[in-house]
Amino acid sequence: MAEAERIIGTPDITGAEGSGETGPDGSAASPDQVEPEARDTGATAADADVDRSPATRRRRVILLFCVAVVAYLLDLGSKMLVVAKLEHQEPVELLGDWLKLDALRNSGAAFGIGEAFTIIFTIIAATVIVVIARLARKLYSLPWAIALGLLLGGALGNLTDRIFRAPGVFEGAVVDFIAPAHFAVFNLADSAIVCGGILIVFLSFKGLDPDGTVHKD
């Protein structure tokens, strides 16, 4: 009998004992009992590495607002300088005809799009700011903090023009001054919005969410 067991072997018992897994009654667990748990662990392994402590979220929110403040101040300062020095003057050539500084007033959206919908674009900018503020409550991702900060700073920059510049409140014309050849004139706020938007598209393509989780479609 012992010789027969040696030849035939006991694969089921050996496999169960080697796995180290046991069922609810203390007996060796079958592969069907073990596999789902293993799959669940693998699916959440990346998420388990995300630090969701209040301190981490606080640091991400601070970074978001720091990026937004820098983008906003650069935009505001450049517009004040352009209005004081370049408005009603001849364009300043930086790279010949390829890149100039030319002060213009734009009542439309970024890059002069939709000049007949100034109030609508003002509402959109205000909505973007509210949405970003809500997203900040569950923000744990560093790149998302940078992207949202760029969007927030750019939106605030152009919204400031909408509110405080002529011809009136919520109808003000945005100051544009960066004039590449064969392209629309824009400002630093537009640049921040575009860069933030491109980064968000990239992060979404990679499956990274603002809360730091990574999903696979």
Active site residues: 176, 190
**Tokens of residue 101, six digits:** 């500084």
Distance CA(198)–CA(10), nearest Å, equals 59
- Give the start-end residues of each E strand in the chain: 92-93, 99-106, 174-180
CA angle, corner 69, sides to 65 and 71, nearest 5? 115
Closest listed residue to residue 174, CA positions, set 90, 91, 117: 117
Q: Extract the tokens encoding 98.
A: 């390829």
Structure tokens at 5: 């067991």
In whole angstroms, what is the distance from residue 207 CA to residue 195 CA? 18
Q: Report residue 204 CA to chain centroid gap.
A: 8
Parallel, antiparallel, or unpaired for β 92-93 and 99-106? Answer: antiparallel
Q: What is the Cα–Cα distance from 181 to 63, expressed in whole angstroms?
A: 35
